[in-house]
Chain A
Amino acid sequence: MGASLKDIKRQSIAVDKTRQITRAMNMVAASKLKAAQSKMENFRPYADKIMDVFDSLAGRVTSTTNPLLAVREPRRIRVIMMTSDRGLCGGFNANIIKEVEKFTKEKTAEGKEVSLIAVGKKGRDPFRKKVKIAGEHIDQLSRFDISLAAGIAGEAVPPFVAEEYDELYLCYNEFRSVASQKPRMIRLLPASSVGSDEGEPESTVDYIYEPSEEELLAHIIPLYLRVLIYRGLLETSAGEHGARMVAMDNARSSCEDMLQSLTRQFNRARQAAITAELMDIVGGTEALSAG
């Protein structure tokens, strides 16, 4: 019974404030999640279609005249790593960092060189001293559109063409549900239709291509990259809010548990104080009457 009544009271007020904050943050995250999720859903038809077109084209064009399809011995690897700018979202960022760390370790062990393009502050900071950061996009996830993806792609593509690095990967949290995000590592460059998930392109229609297949493909690869990056950004943003919602919900229920135990402690301490006081009075009167 170390803490005094006052101490316990003060502590429980603090915990209650934290509980209110976590509740507010949970609600903010929920509304942001809703917006991010609808953005993600609205983007899906466009993304799916672009992927389809890319797949059907990439499957046809076999010549490697396009510099973005050039397969080289992967000695230098670049990774676009997507995390959030803010913390308090559970293991959301830690999972990505772990994934990238593992990847970096593996590749370095094979004698390859890894550099990063960091999107989001939480991912950049732990790597700042370990790995070369080729580019960073910080504090932009709170509000973005496809031009951010275009910017990232625009920064990543020229060095690839100039052969400054040989492979480009993208690592982000795949949005599976509000409560579940899973780190996912995909290869962006050299671009290949194998990289996309939905296996067989169902359409085997013989299209007329205008302009030629190669030219179309040259147009669509940058677009395809932009689409993949944008999808990554959207899923990261939705995932961040989802993860924060869950984290805040957990924090709130922990706060409630703590409050309960503090209240119990407080009552017990108060009861003990009353008992001690009563004992004193009783002891005093007994002493008086005895005297």
Chain B
Amino acid sequence: MADQLMLEIVTPEKLAFSDVVEEVTLSGSEGEFGVLIGHAPLLSSIKFGELNYTKDSKKTYWFAGDGYAEITNLKATVLVESIEEAKSIIGEEAQKTRESVEAQLAGMDKDDPDYERVKKTLGRAEARLKVAEKV
């Protein structure tokens, strides 16, 4: 296959993925966008959420944390805090995480300095659950 681009996913712990793929879809801070080979050079921030790529016409889903993507015409480099393959997320566990965060948030005052942080955690837990359900 000629029309493939190199995808690299890097986290602080390791090089999580490095292979050629046909297409990558990232959730940028300005919205979701897809990348094919020959994309214009782009530097975008990434919001936590779904990341998927197509290889051999098969889609694989991941859940990515916040970070950046650097795209050149042959290569996409994704720098994120964390990455999890959707397959490896256990639905029930993700559900439980979401519920416990939700309960924590419900018990908090809006003026609490931690409120925003917990709210963000909830958003993340919800997004993670959503990705887990895609498999």
Contacts and interface: CB of A to CB of B under 8 A. Distances in A.
Contacts of A49: 10, 70, 77, 79
B11 interface: yes
Interface stretch (B36-44, B50-58, B101-109, B124-132): B36-44
A53 B72 CA distance: 13
Q: What is the predominant secondary structure among interface residues of chain A facing chain B?
A: helix
Nearest to B67: A223
B12 A43 contact: yes
A210 B44 contact: yes
Interface in A6-58: 39, 42-43, 45-47, 49-50, 53, 56-57
A146 interface: yes
A211 interface: yes
A46 B70 CA distance: 12
B30 interface: yes
B15 A216 contact: no
A186 interface: no
Given A49-B77, A208-B40, A230-B12, 9 more contacts: A39-B13, A43-B12, A45-B15, A50-B79, A145-B12, A145-B13, A210-B28, A210-B44, A216-B44
23 contacts: A42-B12, A43-B12, A45-B15, A46-B10, A46-B11, A49-B10, A49-B79, A50-B68, A53-B70, A145-B13, A146-B81, A205-B41, A206-B41, A208-B40, A208-B41, A210-B42, A210-B43, A210-B44, A211-B30, A211-B44, A216-B68, A219-B45, A220-B68
